[in-house]
A and B are shown apart, each in its own frame.
Chain A
Amino acid sequence: MKKLNYIKGLIEGDKLIVDEIYKTFLPKVSYWIKRNHGTDQDGFDVFQDALEALVTKGLEHKLAPDTNFQALLFAICRNKWISAIRLKKKEELVRFEELSRYNDITNIQAVSEDAMQEQETKKMLKDTFILLSPLCQQLIPMVENKLAAKEIAVELSMTNANAVHRRKFACFEAWRKRIEKHDYYPIWKSLKSL
């Protein structure tokens, strides 16, 4: 029951639940990261990053209702820290036995790796979305949340519903072009074609 509440609380931005998540799980993650050549700051950064990845996953309904929150959170943290130290060439020094014990839980490892890729994809989308004009940044969420074109026209001071449709395609096209120039795009593309 509580596992579900953690995810829900994260997605809904419930400050009390988010606070409880930090209080309950951050010390364990920090402890593990410190034992694996990290610092308190590394632990905090990895943990916060993992929570953000979980929000993305939860919002896109990619988490099964019976997902073990703690196991998934630890698996994501572990993968993130391994990726980080891989850059520092310290991978062989990591003591896998602790946080990795949760990997035995069905599918957790796959879900956590998937979450990392998704976070990279989201970062690419975000990096490029914020380069769009303010109008496009307002219009796309409205269109995708199925607001009526007439209402959008009024809200964004556009002439009429046709202008909304025209602008919608122009905004998506501009966004796509920026994505195609993003550093992560070739990686995303190759992952998709696997």
Chain B
Amino acid sequence: MSEETIHQYLEGSLDEQATSAFESSLAADPQLATQVELMKEMKSYGKVQDQTERAQRVIRDVGHKYNPSHQAKPQQGEQSKVKIKRLRYLIPAIAAILLIGIILNSLFQSTAQDDTSSLYAHYAEVTPLSLSTRSTENNELVTTAEEYFNSQDYSEAIHALTSIIAQDVDNAKAIFYRGYAYIADDQYEAGRKDLMSLLDNTLYQHTASYHIALSYIKSGSSSLAVPYLKEIPASSNHHAQAQEILKIINE
């Protein structure tokens, strides 16, 4: 039974004959019955999701002042003034420690940055962009996007790909390559947004997960890459690389 039929049944848009046939199958097939129950839950959640979120936000906001852990926080006032007085003598020592800390941190950070950059460069390669078979109408735009992307002029490639996507919002390939280009151009949020929109796309979902992970590595937040790398199944082309990266991160 197709998902579309289940939707139609639950929405009451099947005709009488189809409805009674569906109900006969439903009575005879427990698996279908579970599917229908789940779809019912999903549709019901989808319907009230906004309102639930809003109501729960109010419960939490109002509840904030009744939360014992919030009430237990120390009061500001005289006590803090005394603390500041005591701290006065420690200020030169703290300043010296901070200065040393900043110097060491910048040294470590540049090393860490180099490490993550090289990790990204090593693992982030993609095949050259080729969109030309997809469209016959936008040839000039397509050629421009391909040229810019393949010559690694990512900011221009982003412009061209954005024009292509504006004319074909479902063009997953263009969305993927634009996401890649954004990340290569250090525009991480925009890149991840594109790639995340492909997580439901059967063709690109694992590649998208892989490159979202790499984007976190490139931006220096390797720990955030881990769930995306772990999500890549053994059947994916990126599985072996994902496992290698996970090993490196864990080391």
Contact = CB atoms under 8 A, between A and B. Distances in A.
Contact of A59 (B7, B37, B39, B48): B48
A125 B45 CA distance: 7
Interface stretch (B83-91, B101-109, B195-203): B195-203
B27 interface: no
A155 interface: no
Contacts of A125: 41-42, 45
B30 interface: yes
Nearest to A171: B200
A26 B68 CA distance: 11
B54 to A, nearest CB: 5
A178 B55 CA distance: 25
B3 interface: yes
B193 interface: yes
A163 B42 contact: no
B60 interface: yes
The A interface, classified by DSSP as helix, strand, loop or mixed, is: helix
A169 to B, nearest CB: 6
A134 B193 contact: yes
Contacts of A158: 169
A133 B200 contact: yes
Contacts of A143: 46
A55 B7 contact: no
Interface residues of B, number: 44
Interface in A134-164: 134-136, 140-141, 143-145, 157-159, 163
Interface in A31-68: 39-41, 44, 48, 51-52, 55-56, 59-60
A100 interface: no
B224 to A, nearest CB: 15
Given A18-B62, A170-B200, A192-B37, A11 B43 contact: no
Given A172-B39, A176-B38, A55 B49 contact: no
B199 A131 contact: yes
B56 interface: yes
Nearest to A133: B197
Contact of B170 (A126, A159, A193): A159
24 contacts: A11-B55, A12-B55, A13-B54, A13-B57, A18-B63, A44-B67, A44-B68, A52-B59, A60-B44, A60-B48, A122-B52, A125-B41, A129-B46, A129-B49, A131-B199, A133-B200, A141-B49, A144-B43, A144-B46, A145-B47, A159-B168, A169-B4, A172-B39, A172-B42
